[in-house]
Amino acid sequence: MNTITFMGVKIHPLTMTKTLESIDFIINCGKFWKHSVINVSKIVNMKKNRTFFNDVNNADLINADGMGIVWGARFLGLNIPERVTGIDLFINLLKLSEIRGYKVYFLGARQELLEKMIQNIKKKYPRLIISGYNNGYFNVSEEKKISLQIKKTGAQILFVGISSPKKEHFINSQFNNTDVSFAMGVGGSFDILAGLTKRAPLFIQKSGFEWLYRLSQEPKRMFKRYLITNCLFLFMLIKEFIKLKINQQ
């Protein structure tokens, strides 16, 4: 599968359709893939945390989640056809799993929020096989026990709704113990499917400024993530551009 390297991180420049086809293929073939996404905030934090960097870069499939990554890559002459957001991939995989009969497992969030999300998912995807779920409140010493519990359910797809870098660490370190075919971190997607938070209107999503909508919803929590990290990312991108031009001389 074709990859590009952006700021030291590998990315698979796939469309949503190609991403879903690839995941469907590996599950049917009995292969095992870890998935991750890249956005501006994650790139900045990966540069400061080597373990986090390795956990993400060790994934078998990495999509460009944010338009900042798509635009930044194109600025450096790298082609990414479109953004493949974690939430959209999550929803599309729920649809695919209902059609194919894939067994899914949900890990993350508070117990009451997780149960609300499960209720909503069952209403929307009544034929979806949910093999199990567990809240995200556990420590590192419990990770192996939880992963072995997931294995016992026979789940084929694992959705991890925990914040970074904990979800990337869990997937990278415990993937083999879960015995699932495909594992992906979905971050705050559980909040959205539970109805706790809302996504931006579609026209804002397509414009690439969904982050502004989220900032308006949760200004205190999102201020550092978006405004500060966006500035740091821009600085890093300019440095990469200058380095590229020097190397081309």
> What confidence score (pLDDT) does residue 200 get?
63
The whole-number pLDDT of residue 187 equals 86
Q: What is the pTM of this model?
A: 0.92
Using 50 as the pLDDT threshold, list the residues of the chain that sit under it: none
User: Exposure pattern of 190-213 as b/e (b: 16+ CB <10 Å)?
Assistant: bbbbbeeeebbeeeebeeeebbee
**In 9-134, which ranges are E strands?**
9-11, 33-38, 61-64, 103-108, 129-134
pLDDT recorded at residue 132: 98
| Residue 234, token pair as written in the block | 């821009």
Residue 53 has what DSSP assignment?
A: H
Q: What is the pLDDT of residue 199?
A: 75
The pLDDT value recorded for residue 34 is 98
DSSP 8-state secondary structure symbol assigned to residue 243: H
pLDDT of 203 reads 66
DSSP state for residue 157 in the 8-state scheme: E
- State residue 212's pLDDT score: 67
pLDDT score, position 210? 72
Say what the pLDDT of residue 227 is: 77
Q: What does the pLDDT read at residue 28?
A: 95
Whether the Cβ atoms of residue 208 and residue 71 lie closer than 8 Å to each other: yes
Cα-based distances in Å from 31 to 39, 42, 106: 26, 27, 20
